[in-house]
Amino acid sequence: MERITLGIKGMTCDHCVMTVTNALKNVDGVKTASVSLNQETAKVTYDDTKTSLEQLKQAVVAAGYKVE
């Protein structure tokens, strides 16, 4: 199990937080996703045999936000 923190840009409200959270949780292999609007971060735990950091980033970008 991998645990990472992504920097997320573009979130402005709780709805954005939910959108990013759901986008991450919908990635197969993601166990938990904890998104902070204030810190502009997403803490994610995932099974690295099922998904990758690159796929997590793509899910955030597909939802309309930027990953740093």
Residues found near Cu ion in the complex (CB under 5 A): 12-13, 15-16
**8 or 30: whose CB is closer to Cu ion?**
8
**26 or 31: whose CB is closer to Cu ion?**
26
- C-alpha 1/C-alpha 48 separation (Å) is 6
Residue 59, Ramachandran bin (φ over 0: left; ψ between -120 and 50: alpha; else beta): alpha
**3 or 64: whose CB is closer to Cu ion?**
64
Given a contact cutoff of 8 angstroms between Cβ atoms, the answer to whether 11 and 40 are in contact is yes
Provide the minimum distance between the beta carbon of 18 and Cu ion in the complex, in angstroms, as a whole number: 8
